[in-house]
Amino acid sequence: MAHFICIGGGQAGASLVARLRKDGFDGQITLICAEDVPPYQRPPLSKAYLLGEMALERLFLRPESFYAEQGIDLRLGSRVTAIDREARTVSVGGEVLAYDQLALTTGSTPRRLPAAIGGDLPGVFTVRGLGDVDALEPHVREGARALIVGGGYIGLEAAAVCAKRGVSVTLVEMAERILGRVAAPETSDYFRALHTAHGVDIREGVGLSRLIGDARVTGAALTDGSELDVDFVIVGVGIQPEAELATAAGLTIDNGIAVDLNGRTSDPHIWAAGDCASLPYCGQRIRLESVQNAIDQAEVVAQNMMGGVVDYVPKPWFWSDQYDTKLQIAGLNSGYDRIVTRAGDGSAVSFWYYQGLTLLAVDAMNDPRNYMIGKRLIESGRSPAPKVIADADTDMKALLRA
Ligand SMILES: Cc1cc2nc3c(=O)[nH]c(=O)nc-3n(C[C@H](O)[C@H](O)[C@H](O)COP(=O)(O)OP(=O)(O)OC[C@H]3O[C@@H](n4cnc5c(N)ncnc54)[C@H](O)[C@@H]3O)c2cc1C
């Protein structure tokens, strides 16, 4: 009987094994998870779960019983330490398991601050796994003082939760603006104003020089020469693909585990999906760090492990919740040269990214209708003229019929 092994029980791994069974694979499936809980969704970790508004059970993608019912050998608290490509085996907890096909869905790990500047002091947290958030949560208390390092989505979401829970928050972003790596200045301006209105002290163009403290972190020295007293620190300075196993096994690595359109690595028996994989897209190699990518790519890989030849064509979308604002993003904005703003009803607004006359992406704030219209336009390769989008009188729904 064929044995498919999947290393990494996150969003991608859980989707992959479920899809194998759904499509009728009747061989042996083993899902090996380093964490000691069944696969769960991460987005609520920096949103509703940290806020205390979502119970643990609701994080799980499926109840643990699902895996047994589906005949999937779910191994929790087990870390694979080596892959032997010649023997086609993996080593896990003293055991050696043979595979016919192997999938790597090992995700990513947060970048940490160097120990030399206090990055390993107690009271310094990252937000990646359930364990991180359970350790952080007791510190998020009214009157506490938090420093958040990094103004990307994770840092901003954590800032919003802390502010809502009465923490006094300072957020430093070394680049000239928050969200500089991922969004247009218009989106940065929107979120800067939103956080400032909620009392968060956002300092852009300011980095962290070092954290101060002996037994635990008590302060921070910033690159502008100022010093802060802090009770805890959240570090949100990006992630790196978890490619250690793949590197040691000699697979091709290129900003993550390099895969082809089918999700196959440089070894024909090994596949990769999710945050850990870098894929070809429009003539370049990209990595997408999102739930949608993890699910869709994993499902394509599952089909191809069973002998299919399915290409993965990403249809990127993403969301972020901060205070009462829901940001929804469709498309990929890289290469944009123009932003068109469309004001909606009430607090709704959307920013449309164009490259020349081609619509690339949309950021929609509290504007699900225009998000959905933008998403459908992008997915079907249609680009309304920028002036049409900017025109308040345009019937947006009619654009989908054009
Ligand atoms: C706080 C937070 C908020 C987010 N918010 C959003 C959002 O709003 N919208 C969105 O689209 N995306 C969001 N994301 C990103 C999204 O969660 C990830 O892109 C997605 O989880 C990637 O899935 P994955 O399966 O590739 O990796 P993961 O979910 O990271 O799963 C990988 C798993 O592999 C395990 N593993 C690694 N190495 C081994 C090994 N050697 N042996 C066994 N197991 C191993 C890891 O422990 C981990 O459990 C957020 C992420 C975080 C952390």
Taking CA atoms only, the protein residue closest to ligand 1 atom 17 is: 42
For ligand 1, mutation pick of 73, 275, 325, 326 (most atoms within 8 Å of CB)? 275
Alpha carbon distance 298, 294 (integer Å) = 6
User: Ligand 1 centre and the CA of 379: distance in Å?
Assistant: 25
**Residue 371 CA, distance from chain mean position:** 19
Taking CA atoms only, the protein residue closest to ligand 1 atom 27 is: 107
Name the band, by pLDDT with cuts 50, 70 and 90, for residue 173.
very high
In a domain, 318, yes or no: no
| Residue 195 Cβ contacting ligand 1 at under 6 Å | no
| Residue 9 Cβ contacting ligand 1 at under 6 Å | yes
Same-domain pairing of 116 and 231 = yes
> Total domain count for the chain?
3
Taking CA atoms only, the protein residue closest to ligand 1 atom 31 is: 10
DSSP, collapsed to helix, strand or coil, labels residue 400 as helix
Same-domain pairing of 301 and 355 = no
Instruction: Give the residue-averaged pLDDT of 16-43.
Output: 98
Where is the domain boundary, 209, 235, 261? 235
| Residue 79 Cβ contacting ligand 1 at under 6 Å | yes
Nearest to 88 by CA among 3, 214, 200, 199: 3
What is the tens place of the pLDDT at every residue in 273-317? 999 999 998 888 999 999 999 999 999 999 999 999 999 999 999
Same-domain pairing of 140 and 200 = yes
Q: Is 248 left (phi over 0), alpha (psi -120 to 50) or beta?
A: alpha
Q: Token pair for residue 65?
A: 């019983």
For ligand 1, mutation pick of 11, 41, 301, 325 (most atoms within 8 Å of CB)? 11
Where is the domain boundary, 207, 235, 263? 235
Number of the ligand 1 atom closest to the C-alpha atom of 79: 42
Q: How many CA atoms lie within 13 A of 17 on its CB side?
A: 34
Phi–psi pair at 351, nearest 5 degrees: -115, 125
Give the percent of the chain with pLDDT over 90: 97
In a domain, 193, yes or no: yes
pLDDT of 244 strictly over 90: yes
CATH number of 351's domain: 3.30.390.30
Give the percent of the chain with pLDDT over 70: 100
| Residue 173 Cβ contacting ligand 1 at under 6 Å | no
What is the tens place of the pLDDT at every residue in 192-226? 999 999 999 999 999 999 999 999 999 999 999 99
Instruction: Give the residue-averaged pLDDT of 34-44.
Output: 97
pLDDT of residue 284: 87
Alpha carbon distance 65, 68 (integer Å) = 5
In contact, 354 and 337? CB cutoff 8 Å: yes
Instruction: Give the residue-averaged pLDDT of 353-369.
Output: 97
For ligand 1, mutation pick of 45, 106, 111 (most atoms within 8 Å of CB)? 106
Alpha carbon distance 279, 260 (integer Å) = 6
pLDDT of residue 213: 97
Same-domain pairing of 143 and 183 = yes
DSSP, collapsed to helix, strand or coil, labels residue 386 as helix
The partner residues of 104 in beta bridges, in order of sequence, read 7, 272
Nearest to 29 by CA among 16, 47, 46: 16
In a domain, 317, yes or no: no
In a domain, 315, yes or no: no
Where is the domain boundary, 214, 235, 256? 235
Nearest to 76 by CA among 66, 86, 64, 85: 64
Taking CA atoms only, the protein residue closest to ligand 1 atom 35 is: 8
| Run of H or E residues at 15 | helix 11-22
In a domain, 78, yes or no: yes
Alpha carbon distance 45, 35 (integer Å) = 15
pTM: predicted TM-score of the whole model, two decimal places:
0.96
Domain that holds residue 173: 112-235
> How many residues are present in the chain?
402
| Residue 7 Cβ contacting ligand 1 at under 6 Å | yes
pLDDT of residue 346: 86
Q: Return mean pLDDT, the chain.
A: 97
Instruction: Give the residue-averaged pLDDT of 93-116.
Output: 97
pLDDT of residue 246: 98
User: Ligand 1 centre and the CA of 304: distance in Å?
Assistant: 22
pLDDT of residue 282: 82
Same-domain pairing of 220 and 124 = yes
CATH number of 27's domain: 3.50.50.60
| Residue 322 Cβ contacting ligand 1 at under 6 Å | no
Number of the ligand 1 atom closest to the C-alpha atom of 128: 53
Per-residue three-class SS string for 143-186:
CCEEEEECCCHHHHHHHHHHHHCCCEEEEEECCCCCCCCCCCHH
Number of the ligand 1 atom closest to the C-alpha atom of 273: 26
User: Ligand 1 centre and the CA of 6: distance in Å?
Assistant: 14
Same-domain pairing of 275 and 335 = no
In a domain, 75, yes or no: yes
In contact, 348 and 363? CB cutoff 8 Å: no
Alpha carbon distance 338, 319 (integer Å) = 22
pLDDT of 347 strictly over 90: no
Same-domain pairing of 181 and 283 = no
User: Ligand 1 centre and the CA of 107: distance in Å?
Assistant: 5
In a domain, 297, yes or no: yes
Q: Token pair for residue 355?
A: 């490259």
Return the sign of the alpha-carbon dihedral for residues 120, 122, 126, 132: positive
Same-domain pairing of 50 and 22 = yes
Residue 380 is given by DSSP the state T
pLDDT of residue 54: 96
pLDDT of 364 strictly over 90: yes
pLDDT of 99 strictly over 90: yes
Alpha carbon distance 91, 101 (integer Å) = 15
Alpha carbon distance 156, 138 (integer Å) = 19
Instruction: Give the residue-averaged pLDDT of 72-94.
Output: 98
| Residue 231 Cβ contacting ligand 1 at under 6 Å | no
User: Ligand 1 centre and the CA of 305: distance in Å?
Assistant: 21
pLDDT of 345 strictly over 90: no
Same-domain pairing of 23 and 100 = yes
For ligand 1, mutation pick of 112, 291, 315, 318 (most atoms within 8 Å of CB)? 291
Report the C-alpha dihedral over residues 76, 81, 84, 90, rounded to 10 degrees. Answer: -10
| Residue 326 Cβ contacting ligand 1 at under 6 Å | no
Alpha carbon distance 365, 347 (integer Å) = 8
Number of the ligand 1 atom closest to the C-alpha atom of 35: 47
Alpha carbon distance 194, 206 (integer Å) = 19
Nearest to 191 by CA among 371, 370, 317, 363: 363
In a domain, 146, yes or no: yes
Same-domain pairing of 227 and 137 = yes
| Run of H or E residues at 201 | strand 201-204
User: Ligand 1 centre and the CA of 105: distance in Å?
Assistant: 9
User: Ligand 1 centre and the CA of 10: distance in Å?
Assistant: 5
Same-domain pairing of 66 and 128 = no
Instruction: Give the residue-averaged pLDDT of 337-357.
Output: 95
Same-domain pairing of 203 and 255 = no
Other CB atoms within a 10 A radius of the CB of residue 103 amount to: 29
Kindly write down the DSSP assignment for every residue of 50-67, as one continuous string. HHT-S-GGGGBSS-HHHH
